[in-house]
Structure 1
Amino acid sequence: MRPEDRATARRNLDRRLNELKYSEALTRPPRGWIRAIREALGMTTAQLGKRLGVVQSRVTAIEQAEARHTLTLASLEKAAHALDCRLVYALVPRKPLEELVEDRARLKAGKRLESTRHSMALEAQGVAEADEQEQLKRMVQRILDKAGSELWEDGE
């Protein structure tokens, strides 16, 4: 994917995910969604088991696995279907994707400039803070303009 297409994809995802970022509605109940919905519907574990085609003790195990974060998405989707629900799955970034990429580019640029700064200081050729900041800004932009998977390499 070209860098400009990646940037467009990030902006589109940021717009879609922004609403979810602050939504408490998607916070999983302490004992899990399956149990919360089953109980709210007034359904027993035996009744849900019949809808899932499993024994009652398996429903209890499924609910416990969800509460422990060990339930597979496939099992969660089957339970959702048995409860006449739709499984919604999303990764919600803690900050906008565009900001994550810019932060990473700034970190990489800072590391690159640090080695140059060190060499120049050894040769008594220090650079003014304003010039250094401008250089950092230009380097960050260059990294962003060609950013690909190398942005996430830890070698620098």
Structure 2
Amino acid sequence: MLSRQGSQMRRLARAKLDEIGNMLRALLPRLPHAPRGGWIAGTREALGMSRSDLARRLGVSPGSVTKLEMSERAGSIRIDTLRRAASAMDCELVILVVPRQPLQSMVDQRRLQRYGADIDRAATHMSLEDQSISETMRRHLLQQAEAAIPDSTLWRESPIG
């Protein structure tokens, strides 16, 4: 019972995140690329703020701001450092992890992949009869897979069991 509730809670969480993910995936192609010198330098320069001004606001040396901007361009900046720099320029830092496809689709695909032996057998029998797996059959197989493969084991590389 507890496991089933946990599974339902994860499904609900995926549905909520999928709503947001769908919106963000539609938005991603329209987002601008980072300014040539990086977001910190681009924002700082657009504000008319010198490196010395930003350094003073951060309580560091101007050379540290140069290193900070270089580490952002190199992709090695620490998130807390980026957050402090954004705050010093009265900006918000937004970091997003956007799934390439809906989370529920990813889970369903993985579950069906792990449950593949039974699906392959069903597909083989159906292809011999010149049939394809219908959406109803797919849902049925997915229900069986959900019963056999809990969410907690989906991403393990070892065989089920």
Normalising by the smaller structure, the TM-score range is 0.7 to 0.9
Any idea what SS the aligned residue of 1:85 has? coil
Which one scores higher on RCO, CA 8 angstroms, separation ≥ 6?
A: 1
Q: Which residue of 2 aligns with 1:35?
A: 41
Kept in 2: contact 1:106–1:136 (CA 8 A) = no
1:9 maps to which of 13, 19, 28: 13
Give, as a single letter, the amino acid of the residue that structure 1 aligns with 2:86: A
Residue 121 of structure 1 is matched in structure 2 by none
Task: Please report the RMSD computed on the Cα atoms of aligned residues, expressed in angstroms.
Answer: 2.5
In structure 2, the residue matched to 1:152 is 155
Give 1:127 shift. Answer: 2.8
**What is the CA-CA distance between 1:19 and the residue it aligns to?**
2.0
Measure how far apart 1:22 and its partner are. 2.8
Q: CA deviation at 1:142?
A: 2.4
Partners of 2:97 and 2:126 in 1: CA distance: 42
Taking structure 1 as the reference length, the TM-score comes to 0.80
Matched, 1:19 2:23: yes
Residue number in structure 1 paired with 2:108: 102
* 2:58 aligns with one of 52, 62, 70: 52
Which residue is 1:123 aligned to? none
Q: Percent identity?
A: 32
Listed as ranges, the gaps of 5+ residues in structure 2 are: none
Q: Spell out, residue by residue over 1:29-78, the C-alpha distance to the aligned partner (whole angstroms, 9 max, x if none).
A: 44321111111111111111111111111101111111111001100110
In 2, Cα distance between equivalents of 1:22 and 1:128:
37
Deviation per CA, 1:72-117: give whole Å up to 9, x if none. Answer: 110011001101011112201111111111111121121x338x85
Query: Given the superposition, is the C-alpha separation of residues 32 and 76 from structure 1 closer, same or farther in structure 2, using an over 3 Å criterion?
Result: same
Matched length: 146
